[in-house]
Each structure stands twice: as structure tokens, then as C-alpha cells.
Amino acid sequence: MKTVTSSITLLLVSLCFSGDEILVDATADQIMAKVEEYKGEMPVLMNFWATWCAPCIEEFPYLMELNEKYEGDFKLIFVSGDFREARDEAEKFLKEQGVDFETYFKVGKDNEFITTISNDWTGALPFTIVYNKQGKVTASWEGKAELETFESELLNVINED
């Protein structure tokens, strides 16, 4: 009986850590390393958002639509700037939006995090950065953007030679 209980416990623990987590804690350095992984491979669009940010929530479906439309042509990276207490709410929102890929949850002191990500970022949300295939920032902005803006900036880097 003890062996069965141990086996069940081991199974439950392994299921909890199966790698299916869609919201992973990450420092700014870890996030920038992830961007670097795509250098030479494909453009990256990175979006910083939070569940309490109405403009973030409004533009989120645009990004998901573009992710589906241009699948394989760029990497979409979401970073939640939610407070620690809202982590579960952020994960629930991601699942409701159909996110089935790894996203990141900001950890670390705000000022340090912000300056590591971009000198052009004041910390306001939403914040978006577009990197070309060579890893160079081609566009960044604070505030909500329309679908057309995201798509135009994306196509600029997707169609770059």
C-alpha cells in the first residue's frame, strides 16, 4: 500500500511540473536572453501587459490574431507586469485568451527591470518592442496600439531582407 501511495504522489508531483506552465517567473535578464535566442532566426514582438491595464486587455486579441496569422514568421513574447497577488488571475486570463505557449511573469525590482528591458520605457503599460531578425529594435511604444499598427510593424520586420 505504501508503494501505491508513493507512486500516486510521485505522479501528481510530476504532473504539476510537467512543463505545461504557460506563465513562468522571469527576470529582465532571463527575458532578454529569450529574445536573444531568436536572433538570426526570426523577428520578435514582445508585449508587456497586466490584467489591471484596460488598454493591455483591449489590444491582447490583436496580438493573438497576428500570432495565428503569421505563425512561424515571428516569435510573440508576452510579459505580465501584474502584482504577485494577481499571478493566478494573469494565468487565468492567458488561458481564456487561448495562449498555449510559454509567457513570462515579471520578477525583480521595477526600476531595474524596466531599464534592463529598454531605456525608452518609462514603465507604463502596455509596452511593446519589435525586434528584427538580427535582434535590432525597429519599433517600441508605450500605450495601446491598433491591429493595423502591430501588423504594419510586424510586416516591416517579417519582410526585411
- pTM equals 0.87
Superfamily of domain 21-158: Glutaredoxin (3.40.30.10)
Ordered by start, the domain boundaries in the chain are 21-158
User: Count of CB atoms within 10 A of residue 51's CB?
Assistant: 20
The answer to whether residues 148 and 65 touch, using CB atoms and an 8 Å cutoff, is no
- Write the pLDDT tens digit of every residue in 90-131: 999 999 999 999 999 999 999 999 999 999 999 999 999 999
Cα 43 to Cα 135: distance, rounded to the nearest angstrom: 7
